[in-house]
Structure 1
Amino acid sequence: AKVEELIKTGKIKIYPPERKAETLGFFKQGLEDFSISREKVTWGIPLPFDPKQIAYVWVDALPNYISAIGYGDNPDQFKKWWTEAEVIHLMAKEIIKFHNIWWPAMLLSVGLKPPDVILNHGFFTVKGQKMSKSLGNVIDPNYLVSQFGSDATRYLLLTQFPLGVDGDIQADRFIEKFNSELANDLGNLISRIAKMIADYCSGAIPEPKNYDASDNEIMNSATRTPDRVMDLIYELKVTTAIEEVFKLVKKTNQYVEASAPWNLAKNRDFDKLNTKLYVSAEVLRIISALIYPVVPNKAAQIRKVLGFSGNSLVPSLQKARKWGVLPKGQNLGKIEALFPRMETKKVEVKPVEDNLIGIEDFGKVQLRVAEVRQAEKVAGADKLLKLQVMVGDKEKQIVAGIAQHYQPEELIGRKIIVVDNLKPATLRGIISEGMLLAAQDGKSLVLLTVDKDIGSGAKIS
C-alpha cells in the first residue's frame, strides 16, 4: 500500500515510535475498503453524485484540515499552508487509524500530499486516576493561571512528562517546581545579574575585556544550545528541549557563583568584573530567546531588564546563535521579580465522594456585605484584581480573578458579598483575606450583590 510505504520510509513521520509500530500493525492485520457514505443516516452532508447517500462522518470531518486553509477557494493560501509547508498533525492516540491511514489515503486519492508529521499524543492521569468530574479530580486551567500566571502554567504543564506519551500529573508539586525552577533558578539569576550591573556598572551593560577559560566555556555552551534545542523541537521533543534550556540556566548560575563578581568588585578588578557581568548578561539574552515560545511574557520581561524595547522584545533565533549581540553601554530597564516565590502549599486535587454538606458545615461560612473602596490590577496577572473592601469597620484586602470581566474603576463603591472568615491565602505574592462571590456561566461572570442598599458588614443568612 502507498500509505504503508510512506510510513515505513519516513516520508510520513509518525511519533512516538510505538504509535508508528501500532499503525503499521493495522497493515499486517489486513485492511478492508471502507464505505465513504451511509444510507440510513438522516443527518449530514449528502454526496453530490447521490443525494440518498450521506457522507460518512470521518469523510466529512477530515477535509476540514484543508478546506479551512483555502482548498477549493483560495489556492494561494492553500499553497502556503499545505502544499509548500511542513504539515504537522497533532492527534490523540485513540483515533490513529483515521488520521494515520485513512486521511493520508484520501489525500493521495485526489493528488494532494499527506501530512509530513503526525504526532499521536497520549493520555494523562491525575495521581494515577483518570481525570473526571465525577471523581472531583479535574485540574482547572483557569485556576492554574490565576495561581501561577499563564506563562508559568504553560511551563509547569509542558514539563510534567514528555509530549506524546501517557503521563501522570502531580499537581501537588506545582508550587515546589515553580519555586525551584522558575523562581530560584531562572528568576534569581536574572535579578542577581541585573542588580550587580546596576550596582557595579552604573546600570549599563559593561564592556568585556579578555575572556578566560570559564568565560569561553559558558559562551560556547550558550551558542551551541540554540541548535540543540531546535533539533529537539523538530523531533517534537518539546519537554527535552525545555530541559536543555534550563541546563544552560543552571550552568549560568554555577558560572556566576564561581566567578564571584562581588569579590572582583571588592578587589577592584574591574576589567574582569565587567567581563563576567557582560558574559552573564549575554547568556541571559540567549536564554530569553530560547524560552520565548514557552513563557513569552516573561521572556519579554527579561529583555526589558536587559534594556531592550519595541520590536527587540521579540527575540530572533538567528541572533540567539550569535555571541556579542547585547550592546555595550545599553542601560538596563526596570529590575523586578520575574517569578516571585509562592507560599508552599499543595494544589489540592482529590476525589469527592459526596457533594452534599450538612447545615453545620454551611453554618461555619460567614457571608457578609462588603463595600469596595479601592481596586487595581495585579501586575503581571491579566486575570487578577486587588480590592480594598470595608466589612463593617474592618478593612480587608481581597485578590479576585475578575479582571477580564470588570474594570477597577467600575467596582468602587459597589456592595458585594464576601466570605469573611476565610483563612488568608497568597496569590501571586499578595495576601488575600477573603473571597468574593460571583456567578459564572461559560465565559460570562457577574458579581453577587444586594438588591437594596444595606450597610457593609451586614450578615448574609
Structure 2
Amino acid sequence: MAGSQTYYLTTPIYYVNDVPHIGHAYTTLACDVLARFMRLDGYDVKFLTGTDEHGQKVEKSAMNAGVEPQAFTDRVSKNFRDLVSLMNYSNDDFIRTTEKRHVESAQAFWRRLEERGEIYLGSYAGWYSVRDEAFYGEDELTTTPSGKKIAPTGAECEWVEEPSYFFRLSAWQDRLLEFYEKNPDFIAPAGKRNEVIAFVKSGLKDLSVSRTTFKWGIPVPGNPEHIMYVWLDALVNYITAVGYPEMGEGSEFAKRWPADLHMVGKDILRFHTVYWPAFLMAAEMAPPRRVFAHGWWTIEGQKMSKSLGNVIAPETLVNTYGLDQTRYFLLREVPFGNDGDFSHRAMVNRVNGNLANDYGNLVQRVLSMIGKNCGAAVPQPGPFTEADQALLGAAHALLDTVRGELKAQAFHKALDAIWAVVGDANRYVDEQAPWALKKTDPARMATVLYVLAETIRHLAILTQPVMPDASSKILDQLALGPDERGFGRLGEGGALKAGTPLPAPQGVFPRYVEETKGE
C-alpha cells in the first residue's frame, strides 16, 4: 500500500543575510508542489525548509546592523517563515541552524567523522570568499586591475591564513565517481551532472572545515577555539530534521533517510553533490537519492540586483497577480532546470490566457449551463459516444503522465499535459454545442455536460498541488468532500453521481486588467 511509502524532500536552507526574493520563493514552491502531489498520491511526506544562520557573512551583516548575531538571525529568519504563509507552502518542519537540536546534531556528526579518521588538524592558507562562504583555488580566480581577486561567482576573495581542521576530501575522488556512475539519477538535470563529474575528475583537495578568525558558528567538539565551516554545519540540517544522531530501529532517521530529493539552486550544486555525499559516505551513512539544481530568474531580461533596484519581492507578485496565479506562472513559464525571465507581459498572458480564458472560462460556462439546464445538479448521462470516451480517456490518463513528469521534476511538462486536456475540453464544448442540444436533444445535452463536469473534476484534483486554493473552490462547486479529492478517486471509481445538488457557480480566475494612467 502506498500509504506506507515515505517521501522526504528538502529546500536548501536560506542564508539569513538578506530578504526573500523570487528565487527563494521558486525553490520552495517546487518542493511544495511535489510534497502536495506525493501526499495526494498516498505517500507519508516530510517536507523541510529553513534558514542557515551561521558564518562570517551573517556576523558581518549583524555588525553592520548594530545588533547581536542571534537577534539579527531571529529577525531575518522570520522573513522566511512569513514567506511560507504568503506563498501557502505546506512544509512539515522549519529548521534553524541556531537551534539546540541542530547544534547537537552537527557536533555529533563531526565526532563521527573524527572517530573514523576523516578529519585532521592542520593550517589553512588560501583564498576565501566571505559572500560565498567558499574556498577557491588560485586557478579559479580572476584579478582586477586594482589587484582584487574575484571568484567565478563575482564575489571578492581575501587571503586567509589560520589553523584549521581538514576533511580528507581528496581520498573520496574515486569513490564519488563510482557513486555517480552507479546512481545516474543522483544529479539532475543531466548537464549539471556532467559539470560535477568534470569537477571531481579534475582533482579534489582536502577541505578546510573549521575557522578561528570569527566566532559566529558551532564550536568544534573538544576544541572550541575552532568553529565549524558553515557548509559542514549547514548540510547537516537535512539529517538533524529527521532526528539525527538518533539512528536506531524505529527512529525517524531510520524511516526517512536517505532523503528522496534535495532541491537546490545551481550556485550551490557543488556543496550538495561533492562535499555532502563525501561527508555522508565518510560517516558510513547513505547519500541522498537525488539532487536537482534549478536555474535562476532574470527580471525583464536583466539579472536581479539591489543596485538596479529590480529585485522582486514575492509579496509584490502575490498582491499584483494573485497567489495561485503566481504559483502557476513560476512553474509553467520556464522548463524547470533552465534559467527563466520574469516579465509583466508574460505573467499577464498566462493569467488571462491559460487561467482566465482557457481553464476558468471552461469551468464557469459548464457549471453555469448545468445550473440553468439540469436543475443545479449533476446531470444524468446517457450512453457515451466516441467523442465522450476520447475526452474522458484523456482525463483518466492524466495522472500517469503527470506522475512521470513530476518524478523527473519537469513541472512545466506536467502542466502542459494538464492544459492539453483543458484544450481538448474547450474544443469538445464547441463541437458538441450543448446550448443547441438543449432544444434538439436534452438527454444528449445532459450527457455532454456530465462528461465535461467529470473532466473538470480530474483537472481540479490534479491542479491541487500547484493551485491549492483555486482547485479547492472548483471542487467545492462540484460538491466533492475532503475525502473525495485524493488521487485514489480519479477515474471511474470516484465519478460524479447524477442528481447530486451543486452550488451556484462562482468565477475562480479573474482577468488581470491593466490600471490606466490617470485613474
Task: Please give the alpha-carbon distance, in whole angstroms, between the structure 1 residues aligned to 2:175 and 2:376.
Answer: 63
Runs of 4+ in 1 over 6 A off after TM superposition: none
Matches within 5 A, 1:51-450: 51-73=224-246, 76-83=251-258, 86-267=259-440, 269-312=441-484, 315-322=485-492, 325-344=495-514, 423-424=518-519
Higher helix share: 2
Please tell me the residue identity of whatever aligns with 1:294. V
Tell me: CA distance 1:13–1:274, structure 2 relative to 1, closer, same or farther (3 Å): same
Contact 1:125–1:169 (8 Å) recurs in 2: yes
Percent pairwise identity = 36
Answer with 320-329 or 336-345: which moved more: 320-329
Contact 1:232–1:241 (8 Å) recurs in 2: yes
Answer with 190-199 or 41-50: which moved more: 41-50
Once the 2 structures are TM-superposed, how far is the Cα of residue 339 of structure 1 from its aligned partner?
0.9
Once the 2 structures are TM-superposed, how far is the Cα of residue 160 of structure 1 from its aligned partner?
1.9
Once the 2 structures are TM-superposed, how far is the Cα of residue 42 of structure 1 from its aligned partner?
4.3
Task: Please give the alpha-carbon distance, in whole angstroms, between the structure 1 residues aligned to 2:247 and 2:497.
Answer: 45
Task: Please give the alpha-carbon distance, in whole angstroms, between the structure 2 residues aligned to 1:335 and 1:230.
Answer: 30
Partner residue of 1:449?
A: none
Task: Please give the alpha-carbon distance, in whole angstroms, between the structure 1 residues aligned to 2:239 and 2:324.
Answer: 31
Task: Please give the alpha-carbon distance, in whole angstroms, between the structure 1 residues aligned to 2:420 and 2:331.
Answer: 16
Once the 2 structures are TM-superposed, how far is the Cα of residue 115 of structure 1 from its aligned partner?
0.9
Task: Please give the alpha-carbon distance, in whole angstroms, between the structure 1 residues aligned to 2:276 and 2:510.
Answer: 47
Once the 2 structures are TM-superposed, how far is the Cα of residue 163 of structure 1 from its aligned partner?
1.6
1:348-377 Cα distance to aligned partner (Å, 9 max, x none): xxxxxxxxxxxxxxxxxxxxxxxxxxxxxx
Tell me: CA distance 1:61–1:127, structure 2 relative to 1, closer, same or farther (3 Å): same
What SS does the corresponding residue of 2:207 show, helix, strand or coil?
Answer: coil
Contact 2:379–2:446 (8 Å) recurs in 1: yes
Tell me: CA distance 1:73–1:204, structure 2 relative to 1, closer, same or farther (3 Å): same
Please tell me the residue identity of whatever aligns with 1:309. G
What SS does the corresponding residue of 1:206 show, helix, strand or coil?
Answer: coil
Once the 2 structures are TM-superposed, how far is the Cα of residue 201 of structure 1 from its aligned partner?
0.8
Unaligned runs of 5+ in 2: 1-173
Partner residue of 1:7?
A: 180
Contact 1:176–1:344 (8 Å) recurs in 2: no
What SS does the corresponding residue of 2:208 show, helix, strand or coil?
Answer: coil
Normalised to the residue count of structure 2, the TM-score between the two structures is 0.63
Task: Please give the alpha-carbon distance, in whole angstroms, between the structure 2 residues aligned to 1:261 and 1:143.
Answer: 41
Once the 2 structures are TM-superposed, how far is the Cα of residue 202 of structure 1 from its aligned partner?
0.5
What SS does the corresponding residue of 1:71 show, helix, strand or coil?
Answer: coil
1:305-353 Cα distance to aligned partner (Å, 9 max, x none): 11223444xx21122244661121111123111112221469xxxxxxx
Task: Please give the alpha-carbon distance, in whole angstroms, between the structure 2 residues aligned to 1:134 and 1:116.
Answer: 39
Once the 2 structures are TM-superposed, how far is the Cα of residue 251 of structure 1 from its aligned partner?
0.6
1:370-410 Cα distance to aligned partner (Å, 9 max, x none): xxxxxxxxxxxxxxxxxxxxxxxxxxxxxxxxxxxxxxxxx
Please tell me the residue identity of whatever aligns with 2:447. T
Contact 2:376–2:504 (8 Å) recurs in 1: no
Contact 1:195–1:335 (8 Å) recurs in 2: yes
Please tell me the residue identity of whatever aligns with 1:80. K
Paired residues, number: 344
Higher relative CO (Cα under 8 Å, sequence separation at least 6) belongs to 2
What SS does the corresponding residue of 1:195 show, helix, strand or coil?
Answer: helix
Partner residue of 1:443?
A: none
Tell me: CA distance 1:213–1:93, structure 2 relative to 1, closer, same or farther (3 Å): same
1:24-72 Cα distance to aligned partner (Å, 9 max, x none): 0012211122233235554433322444433222222211111122111
1:86-140 Cα distance to aligned partner (Å, 9 max, x none): 5210112122221101101111122221111101111111122111232122223
Report the structure number with the largest CA radius of gyration. 1
Task: Please give the alpha-carbon distance, in whole angstroms, between the structure 1 residues aligned to 2:194 and 2:443.
Answer: 59
Partner residue of 2:37?
A: none
Contact 1:204–1:330 (8 Å) recurs in 2: yes
What SS does the corresponding residue of 2:254 show, helix, strand or coil?
Answer: helix
Task: Please give the alpha-carbon distance, in whole angstroms, between the structure 2 residues aligned to 1:323 and 1:68.
Answer: 38
1:242-272 Cα distance to aligned partner (Å, 9 max, x none): 11111111111111111111111111x1321
